[in-house]
């Protein structure tokens, strides 16, 4: 199982963590990350965002233009190092299908979750569909209130 990094996480998990994104305000921070599927995903982890201590998660979206052919769909969860499905459970992680789509935070545990240590928000592919294509883009958005 490999770990990949989206555009908002460095491989060392430190370079981007201390930088407050350009859309930061006094009350809310939004981050958008993209990951282009370069090789077929196989129960892999994609680290999407680094979130700081004290961040209260308000919402999270995953979208895809389609990373599958016409066969079965890949399924995923979105969570962090402590809980791999904290934000999106397998029931909601279906936007990697052939037509693409949007998956939104659907897990009660993630709503209003407050981070007590810096962590990453990760997409974990739990079921690999057949007919997976490369070159598809997975886009993610997280909205959180920082602890100031």
CB 37 within 8 A of CB 134: yes
Rounded CA-CA distance 63/100 in Å is: 7
User: For 37-91, what is each residue's pLDDT tens digit?
Assistant: 776 667 788 899 999 999 999 999 988 776 555 556 677 889 999 999 999 987 6
- Is residue 138 scored above 90 in pLDDT? no
Distance from chain centroid for Cα 97 = 16
The model carries a pTM of 0.77
The pLDDT > 70 percentage for the chain reads: 66
Residue 137 DSSP label: E
Read out DSSP for 106-134?
Answer: --GGGTT-B-SS-EEEEEEEEEPPTTB-S
Residue 17, pLDDT score: 46
* Rounded Cα distance, 99 and 109, in Å: 29
């Amino acid at each position: 199982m490999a770990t990949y990094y989206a555009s908002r996480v460095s491989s060392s998990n430190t370079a981007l963590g201390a930088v407050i994104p350009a859309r930061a305000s006094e009350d809310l921070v939004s981050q958008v990350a993209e990951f282009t599927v370069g090789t077929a995903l196989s129960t892999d982890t994609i680290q999407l965002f680094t979130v700081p201590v004290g961040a209260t998660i308000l919402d999270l979206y995953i979208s895809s233009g389609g990373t599958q052919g016409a066969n079965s769909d890949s399924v995923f969860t979105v969570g962090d190092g402590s809980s791999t499905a904290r934000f999106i459970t397998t029931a909601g992680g279906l936007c990697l299908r052939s037509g693409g789509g949007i998956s939104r935070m659907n897990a009660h545990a993630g709503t209003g979750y407050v981070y007590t240590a810096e962590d990453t928000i990760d997409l974990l592919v739990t079921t690999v569909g057949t007919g997976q294509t490369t070159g598809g883009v997975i886009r993610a958005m997280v909205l959180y209130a920082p602890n100031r």
